[in-house]
Structure 1
Amino acid sequence: MPAEEETRETADVASSSGPVYALGRLVLMPIARLIYRPKVVGRKNVPRHGRVILASNHQSFIDSIAIPVVTPRRVQFLAKSTYFEGTGAKGWMSRVFFESIGAVAVRRGAGAAAQEALDEGKKILESESAFAIYPEGTRSLDGRLYRGRTGVAWLALSTGAPVVPVGLIGTDELMPVGTKMPKLKKVSVVFGEPIDVSHHGPATSGRARRAATDEIMAAIHALTGQELAHAYNESPPADAMEKFKRNILRRERF
């Protein structure tokens, strides 16, 4: 990024966000760029102003750091509320760290909890901000790209925000699932061209949400080249009834 552009970005962040995030942008992110030197492609595809959704594949905990580090504007995403609720020095450090990278605390879960999380994302977008989301719902443990949950489409269709697909490559090797410290590995972050999914229909239509989500996931796949799982990324069904609900009723996943 040119020095003048970097200066404008820093000034914008400092004036429009909290002090913890501003400090993280000024200190943490340049250090991460210097050490890991991520390859970034398509930064120009991220609108510098207005609401936008960054929809990414998800392979590692480090993904939620990689995206804010290289995105040319402030970006927020949802994180487990437990990261913000710890006590003592460790809890304080966790809270400050996640605030510094733009995380917003939410309860994780299905049903009402999932809708509450989406409502928080909608509030962020309606403030004309950038919001990052992982349509797969959780990290891929086998490197495959899983079927997208339709919450990303609900957000896009209900707010009119364009969707920028993001392909993260190599983050699973930088910080494999289960490890606590990142390794010195090269990663790539690829931003695709913005997608307008409004032609699929209204947010109230399940068919429109599914079609829009599939279009977004196809764009992510084009960036990463991952093997497709053709299934949702979720834990095995707890019992026969849950298996019936998933395979026979095929309920929509948000």
Structure 2
Amino acid sequence: MLHTTVRLVLVPLARLVYRPVIEGRENVPRSGPVILAANHLSFIDSVVIPLVAPRPVAFLAKAEYFQGRGVKGWLTRRFFTAIDAVPVERGTHRAAQASLEAARDVLARGGAFGIYPEGTRSRDGRLYRGRTGVAWLALTSGAPVVPVAVLGTDRIQPVGTRLPRIRRVTVRFGTPLHFAQPSSGTQRAAQARRVATDQVMDAIHALSGQERTADYNDLSAAA
């Protein structure tokens, strides 16, 4: 009920204020498990994508957003709950694996899950090498991957700013990608995850047109 109410209020308001350009919504399956793999330019990406997608999309969110006190804490908690955010602890390998397990639970329930293969926001606008968690999810769940490009959100809330600005954004949903489970063998499975991840990043790049780099995004610097 809360999710429906928030969408009924925020979707028309967001479209009125930001006038987003939305392309390829028909590429997102209306039911069944699906992974939305997007580039990442701003914190607000995790709000924009669920608001313009044709179905609810769950993203991971820092557990602190659900632990605040007072009126602000209550409002923050209710907002992230309403947009289907999944609370997770961050900062360790165990936390990273727990995040993937939480994502797989969403897919097992037939939901849509959003993920940023780069791992964190791009601070320079380039598209970084994808980490293989997205492929692990796709290969273990059997869910298709819809590549997504978000453009302009870095101008709404640039890194280091608190209040959003009014800027037009574009969201492009690409054709779903399907990946077959590899045959047994640790090395072969690792290679399959790398190949699948690179295909996802190729598709995101085709949609976003960003300058690309072979480097991984520095998670510690971004934090």
Identity %: 57
| Residue-by-residue CA offset, 1:85-141 (whole Å, 9 max, x unaligned) | 011111111101111222110111231110000000000001011000011111000
Give matches, 1:40-51, under 5 Å: 40-51=22-33
CA contact (8 A) 1:54 1:166 kept: yes
| 5+ residue gaps, structure 2 | none
Give 5+ residue unaligned stretches, structure 1.
1-18, 238-254
Tell me whether 1:113 sits opposite 2:72 in the alignment: no
| CA distance 1:232–1:156, change in 2 (3 Å) | same
> Hey, what does 2:211 align to over in structure 1?
227
2-structure distance, mates of 1:152, 1:140: 17
Distance 2:99 2:130 in 1: 16
Partner amino acid for 2:73? Answer: G
Is 1:156–1:197's contact at 8 Å kept on the other side of the alignment? Answer: yes
Which of these two proteins has the greater Rg computed from alpha carbons?
1
- How do 1:92-171 residues align onto structure 2 when only pairs under 5 Å count? 92-171=74-153
CA distance in structure 2 between the aligned counterparts of 1:22 and 1:84, rounded to whole angstroms: 20
The answer as to whether partners of 1:158 and 1:202 remain within 8 angstroms in 2 is no
Mapping of residues 1-254 of structure 1, within 5 Å: 19-198=1-180, 205-235=189-219
Instruction: State the alpha-carbon separation in 1 of the partners of residues 63 and 109 from structure 2.
Output: 22
| Normalised TM-score (structure 2) | 0.94
1:77, 1:131 within 8 Å by CA — same for their partners in 2? yes
TM-score by length of 1: 0.83
Which runs of 4 or more aligned residues in structure 1 lie more than 3 Å from their structure 2 counterparts after TM superposition?
Answer: 199-204
| Cα drift, residue 202 of structure 1 | 6.7
Greater relative contact order, per chain length (Cα 8 Å cut-off, separation 6+): 2
How many residues are paired up? 219
SS at match of 1:125: helix
When the two chains are superposed, the root-mean-square deviation of aligned CA atoms in Å is 1.6
Distance 1:132 1:203 in 2: 28
The more displaced of 63-72 and 21-30 is 21-30
Q: Is this contact kept in 2: 1:200–1:211, CA < 8 A?
A: no
Cα distance in 2, alignment partners of residues 58 and 109 from structure 1: 19
Judge conservation of contact 2:100–2:133 (CA < 8 Å) in 1.
yes
Change (3 A) 1:202 1:135: farther
Task: Name the CA distance, whole Å, in 1 between partners of 2:41 and 2:102.
Answer: 23
Aligned mates of 1:202, 1:44 — CA distance in 2? 35
Separation (CA, whole Å) in 1 of partners of 2:108 and 2:122: 30
- Cα distance in 1 for partners of 2:12, 2:41 equals 23
